């Protein structure tokens, strides 16, 4: 990213919407980056090259974790 790192972007996104899950995609998935990512509450870090199946699975799980309770409440309301 030209102006912000992925980690800085996650922090900014969480200032705007705390519930929004953030998934980092990186070519440099080191242990240090993983620690930093989870310290800023990134949902997941996916190393490049990205498998379509892994990406889809991760996005679905992240959305279900973040919004699954909201979806369940909507279903339960008469």
Report yes or no: 30 and 16 within 8 Å, Cβ to Cβ. no
Q: Is the pLDDT of residue 26 over 70?
A: yes
When pLDDT is averaged across residues 3-16 and rounded to a whole number, the result is 94
Q: Is the pLDDT of residue 21 over 70?
A: yes
Q: Is the pLDDT of residue 22 over 80?
A: yes
Q: What is the pLDDT of residue 76?
A: 67
30-71 pLDDT tens trace: 999 999 999 999 999 999 999 999 999 999 999 998 888 766
Q: What is the pLDDT of residue 67?
A: 83
What is the Cα–Cα distance from 28 to 34, expressed in whole angstroms? 10
Please list the alpha-helical segments (H only) found in the chain: 6-16, 31-39, 52-76
Which tokens in the block code for residue 77?
A: 């309301």
Which tokens in the block code for residue 18?
A: 């705390």
């Amino acid at each position: 990213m030209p102006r912000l790192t992925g980690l800085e972007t996650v922090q900014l996104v969480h200032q705007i919407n705390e519930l929004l899950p953030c998934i980092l995609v990186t070519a440099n998935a080191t242990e240090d980056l993983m620690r930093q990512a989870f310290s800023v509450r990134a949902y997941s870090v996916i190393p490049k090259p990205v498998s379509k199946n892994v990406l889809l699975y991760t996005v679905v799980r992240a959305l279900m974790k973040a919004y699954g309770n909201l979806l369940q409440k909507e279903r339960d309301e008469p």
